[in-house]
């Protein structure tokens, strides 16, 4: 009986060649870049079927992003004055540094990446370049590992951009409780609610600024992807800690692509424009009751960098960017941003 | 009015009866019925009897439409052997039963996603048609994936 079964299986395998349709159908359900690259090795036929895949996701391995070595805060204490100086003036220095890393040796055939996430990441992106017909792409980067940040840090950021960066919002509550008073994310260590020290505030704002680096790197990466994949319809770059994401989809992708290719400049030249919004506000709110979700946040730090258009009654901001926070807490964080802007509007620190 | 029955014949000449209104879930059979009434036996030269029995079982399911998704998933889950699933996927392709093909391919993808290169080859019955040198060159390009 056992033998019969074996013979049958062998005869099946020698007579039946899997049709291309089935191979493509199976492979297109794999989506993971690594698995797909292994499949490209299976045989010559597979090699040519695999590149027809149009939806891919890639999770970068854990590495320490190397740009964190840049000392962007200086050695001295991080006072409020220094903060402003930093944001509006000195900000350009690390940006230029970053810019040079992003653009080193730019040419059109280069993969749309930066060497920040390690050699393996660069190789992976090179492999990705083979999939010319790509329509849907999602990349998950490792947590940025900013100093002073751990799993219990509850911050998220949100960025809005099309052809230029419109706004950046960073929200870090010390604690978040749902309507039943239960702590979310296990952060029940009682830091929240207390009048927080200036050191803690500064630390939070500092992280908020470091996350701007994440945003810039990711946006540059994303522009590179839009430039290199002519059929791309949806692209999203997230991180393993779900801190924030940059994404483009639908008509936005087309608009950005047109913009990249529509000038006498090279697309790379356009990508490298770091046109960062100039208006920065910082808010600290000890306690916030959210009327819609019923959540309560304590010890909130909010940093808003924009073009001055978030103030003055632009309530549609959060709705327009409804996929900004990208997980189940999205609505809660968005609501908090909206509430704070509503009540604190015009009260700059 | 009695329900009309169709007869399907597998690669190994076994006959299977199925009611016409169930059989026409297969777009291939539906088109045949439209063309010539399909009064005679419908031959399926690429589908063996074991697989055809499974397809018939699937077509005969009595599921409420809203439970159908779950049913198809469970149906292929219970037949989780890759060779069986591949036969099923091919039969579903020939007969043009999209849901069944999707589910079978999905299951195969699920099973092979953590396989090594050699395991993928074995599972999908693919012979390596590259020389060791060619393979090494490609392997070098995808070094990061191993």
In order, the DSSP letters of A25-94 are HHHHTT-BHHHHHHHHTT-HHHHHHHTT--EEEEE------GGGGS--S-SS---HHHHHHIIIIITHHH
> How many domains are there within chain A?
1
For residues B29 and B40, give the distance between their C-alpha atoms in angstroms, rounded to a whole number. Answer: 12
B117 vs A68 pLDDT, higher one: B117
Considering only the beta carbons, identify the residue of B101, B125, B144 that sits closest to A124: B144
| Residue A22 belongs to a domain | no
Instruction: Single out the residue of A167, A164, A169 nearest to residue A273, CA to CA.
Output: A164
| Residue A33 belongs to a domain | no
What pLDDT does B13 receive? 93
**Lowest-confidence pick of A15-24, A204-213, A241-250, A302-311:** A302-311
CB spacing of B86 vs A18 below 8 angstroms: yes
CB spacing of A127 vs B116 below 8 angstroms: no
A291 vs A279 pLDDT, higher one: A291
Statement: residue A69 has pLDDT above 70: no
Average pLDDT over residues A72-93: 40
CB spacing of A44 vs B117 below 8 angstroms: no
What pLDDT does A349 receive? 38
Statement: residue A106 has pLDDT above 90: no
Q: If you measure CA to CA, which chain A residue comes closest to B84?
A: A9
Handedness of CA B99, B102, B108, B112 (dihedral sign): negative
- Hey, which residues does A288 pair with through a beta bridge? A297
What pLDDT does A346 receive? 52
Considering only the beta carbons, identify the residue of B105, B120, B144 that sits closest to A42: B120
Average pLDDT over residues A36-58: 88
| Residue A329 belongs to a domain | yes
What pLDDT does A11 receive? 42
Q: Residue A26's pLDDT band (boundaries 50, 70, 90)?
A: very high
Q: What is the mean pLDDT of chain B?
A: 87
Q: Residue A45's pLDDT band (boundaries 50, 70, 90)?
A: confident
| Residue A333 belongs to a domain | yes
Q: If you measure CA to CA, which chain B residue comes closest to A43?
A: B128
For residues A83 and A88, give the distance between their C-alpha atoms in angstroms, rounded to a whole number. Answer: 9
Contact A333, A301 (CB under 8 A): no
For residues B115 and B101, give the distance between their C-alpha atoms in angstroms, rounded to a whole number. Answer: 21
Considering only the beta carbons, identify the residue of B89, B106, B117 that sits closest to A42: B117
Average pLDDT over residues A169-186: 81
Average pLDDT over residues A151-172: 88
Cβ-based neighbours of B48, under 8 Å, separated by 6 or more: A12, B10, B11, B12, B87
Residues of A with CB under 8 A from a CB of B: 9, 12-13, 16-19, 21-23, 25-27, 29-30, 32-35, 37-47, 119-120, 123-124, 126-127
In order, the DSSP letters of A224-274 are HHHHH-TT--EEEEEETT----EEEETHHHHHHHHHHHSSSS-HHHHHT--
- Range of A161's domain? 54-348
What pLDDT does B136 receive? 84
Residues of A in contact with B115 (CB under 8 A): 38
Statement: residue A53 has pLDDT above 50: yes
Statement: residue A54 has pLDDT above 70: yes
| Residue A111 belongs to a domain | yes
What pLDDT does A166 receive? 86
Distance from CA of A31 to the nearest CA of B (A): 9
Average pLDDT over residues A67-81: 40
CB spacing of B120 vs A22 below 8 angstroms: no
Statement: residue B57 has pLDDT above 90: yes
| Residue A27 belongs to a domain | no
For residues A106 and A120, give the distance between their C-alpha atoms in angstroms, rounded to a whole number. Answer: 19
Statement: residue A117 has pLDDT above 90: no
| Residue A30 belongs to a domain | no
Statement: residue A280 has pLDDT above 50: yes
| Residue A41 belongs to a domain | no
Contact A20, B93 (CB under 8 A): no
Contact B90, B84 (CB under 8 A): no
CB spacing of B143 vs A123 below 8 angstroms: yes
Q: What is the mean pLDDT of chain A?
A: 73
What pLDDT does A164 receive? 83
Give residues 86 to 115 of B whose Cβ lies within 8 Å of A. Answer: 86-87, 89-90, 93, 101-102, 105-106, 108-110, 112-115
Burial grade of B139 (CB within 10 A; 0-12, 13-18, 19 or more):
middle
Q: What is the DSSP letter of A17?
A: P
């Amino acid at each position: 009986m056992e033998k019969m079964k074996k013979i049958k299986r062998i005869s099946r395998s020698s007579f039946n060649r899997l049709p291309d349709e089935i191979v493509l159908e199976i492979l297109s359900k794999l989506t993971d870049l690594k698995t797909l690259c292994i499949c490209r090795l299976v045989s010559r036929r597979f090699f040519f079927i695999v590149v027809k895949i149009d939806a891919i996701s890639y999770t970068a391995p854990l590495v320490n992003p190397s740009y964190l070595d840049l000392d962007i805060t200086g050695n001295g204490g991080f006072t409020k004055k220094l903060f402003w100086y930093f944001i509006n003036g000195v900000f350009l220095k690390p940006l230029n540094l970053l810019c040079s890393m992003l653009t080193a040796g730019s040419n059109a055939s280069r993969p749309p990446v930066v060497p920040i996430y390690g050699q393996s990441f660069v190789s992976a992106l090179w492999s990705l370049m083979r999939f010319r017909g790509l329509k849907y792409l999602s990349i998950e980067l490792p947590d940025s590992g900013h100093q002073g940040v751990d799993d219990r840090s509850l911050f998220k950021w949100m960025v809005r951009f099309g052809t230029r960066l419109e706004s950046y919002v960073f929200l870090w509550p010390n604690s978040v409780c749902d309507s039943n008073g239960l702590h979310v994310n296990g952060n029940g260590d009682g830091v929240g609610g207390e009048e927080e020290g200036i050191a803690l505030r500064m630390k939070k704002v500092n992280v908020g600024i470091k996350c701007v680096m994440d945003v810039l790197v990711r946006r540059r990466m994303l522009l590179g992807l839009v430039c290199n994949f002519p059929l791309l319809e949806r692209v999203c770059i997230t991180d393993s800690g779900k801190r924030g994401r940059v994404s483009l989809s639908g008509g936005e992708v087309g608009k950005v692509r047109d913009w990249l290719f529509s000038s006498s400049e090279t697309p790379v030249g356009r990508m490298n424009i770091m046109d960062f919004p100039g208006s920065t506000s910082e808010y600290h709110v000890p306690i916030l009751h959210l009327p819609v979700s019923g959540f309560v946040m304590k010890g909130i730090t909010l940093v808003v960098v924009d073009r001055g258009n978030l103030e003055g009654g632009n309530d549609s901001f959060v709705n327009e960017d409804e996929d900004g926070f990208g997980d189940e807490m999205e609505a809660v964080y968005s609501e908090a941003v909206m509430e704070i802007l509503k009540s604190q509007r015009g009260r700059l620190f | 009015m009695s329900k009309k029955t169709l007869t399907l014949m597998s690669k190994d000449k076994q006959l299977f009866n199925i009611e016409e209104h169930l059989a026409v879930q297969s777009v291939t059979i539906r088109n045949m019925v439209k063309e010539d009434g399909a009064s005679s036996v419908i031959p399926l030269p690429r589908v063996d009897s074991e697989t055809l029995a499974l397809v018939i079982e699937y077509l005969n399911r009595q599921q409420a439409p809203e439970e159908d998704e779950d049913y198809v998933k469970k149906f292929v889950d219970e037949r989780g052997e890759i060779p069986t699933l591949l036969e099923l996927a091919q039969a579903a392709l020939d007969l043009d039963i999209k849901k069944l093909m999707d589910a079978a391919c999905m299951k195969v993808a699920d099973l092979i996603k953590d396989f090594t290169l050699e395991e993928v080859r074995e599972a999908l019955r693919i012979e390596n048609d590259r020389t060791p040198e060619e393979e090494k060159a490609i392997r070098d390009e995808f070094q990061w994936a191993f």
